[in-house]
Structure 1
Amino acid sequence: MPSASTSATATASPGARSASRSSIWRRFSRRCWSTTTFRNLALACAAATLAACGPAAPKFHATDLTGADYARDFALTDHSGRPRTLADYRGKVVSVFFGYTQCPDVCPTNLSTMKRVLEILGPQAARVQVLFITVDPERDTRELLAQYVPAFHPSFVGLYADPARTAETAKQFKVFYQKQPGATPQTYTVDHSAGTYVYDPQGRLRLYVRHGETAEAIAHDIQRLLEGE
């Protein structure tokens, strides 16, 4: 007959072993699920943090010049003969472009694009002023500007000055221009900067639009300025 001590140390039954393994598996599964869940949550938080710290989408298509210390004002004469400064157009978004009436391509393209911008803006176009400053004061008289500039849109304004004031204004606006000789003294062309400055309704320089930008992109940027961006 087996002794009592032998009975006490007998091997557990198959049912008991199965229950023990099931309990261990449940504890292991819970531990693995908790670890996986924690890892996924940590990765999600890290991704959210990186997204928050990443660069924000640009507000404008054009180059943002907010805070620039140049191109702040001008003192010129419009094609109606009235003295003008930037303050005269306070309350409107103002675009300023330097060109000349005999320009073969860049200037008419720019003015045509701005006409399209006003069409896109619809009723809001009344809050936009397009200014065209000539870099050819010798040939671009008040009368010629009065014919040329409003031909693109009745609200467009041509501005001019004598050669010295023109040069000073271009310098203040960091605009380059230079005569290129033609076949005769009066058939010269003028190389010049082709970008456009844009001011918000408070008269602050905000944007630089590169030549070739689409009317849709410019209208988008102007709309944001009109909304107080």
Structure 2
Amino acid sequence: MDNPLRVLIHGASGRMGQALLRLAGEAPGRWQVVAAVTRRPPAQRGVDGGPFFGSAELPGAPAFDVAIDFSLPEGLGPVLELCVARRCPLVSGTTGLEDGQRQAIKAAATQVPLLWASNFSIGVAVLDELVERAARALPGWDCDIVESHHVHKKDAPSGTALTLGDSAGRGGAEPRYASLRAGDIVGEHLVQFAGQGERVELVHRATSRDIFAHGALQAASGLHGRDAGLYSMRGLLFGDS
């Protein structure tokens, strides 16, 4: 890439948004953050100048090559509309979406390259593949998914747990879910298949939020220049989407 990819970060004041800003700033030759959009106006956050914009200013954001969205469910619609209007790719990790919002994502993907994922870890993409394979190989076994996150996470089960459950379902399993909220746990997902006299456990533990930010930036780079469509982390990793 001759020029850095111009990135709009939507939800820049959140945990993931802050990680994205920091990591992008550490590689100015690859990334140029042209807009960092927050719910509160920048002046109220003590930010003077720079690429910060309030959510109400989103329609007037400068030109960008790809948007990365880690906001709240109510913030998804405006950034979807902006990306469709400007024919720019969108990477979104916003969870807790309703059916209507999921349909809006599918509709937008007919016009722009779009990747929505509940988890941007490369390891979780591999786990997702393994869960589907295990479910197919272990018909009739009980399937339980236990997820643990920090006390501030609102949605339960986590979006990642539901994604893993979808993969287990495609393999023929009927997943059950359990959620734990404790301390500052970044993210842990256990998928257990239990049969008579034996069980198989597949586990992913995240110890740094940076893995998700790195994955989102990698996804943004992978979407740039692609045709319109709905992409996945598994697809980008394994080349099947």
The normalised TM-score by structure 2 is: 0.25
Greater strand content:
2
More helix by share: 1
Instruction: Compare relative contact order (CA 8 Å, sep 6+) and give the higher one, 1 or 2.
Output: 1
Indicate the structure (1 or 2) with the bigger Cα radius of gyration.
1
Length-normalised TM-score, structure 1 = 0.26
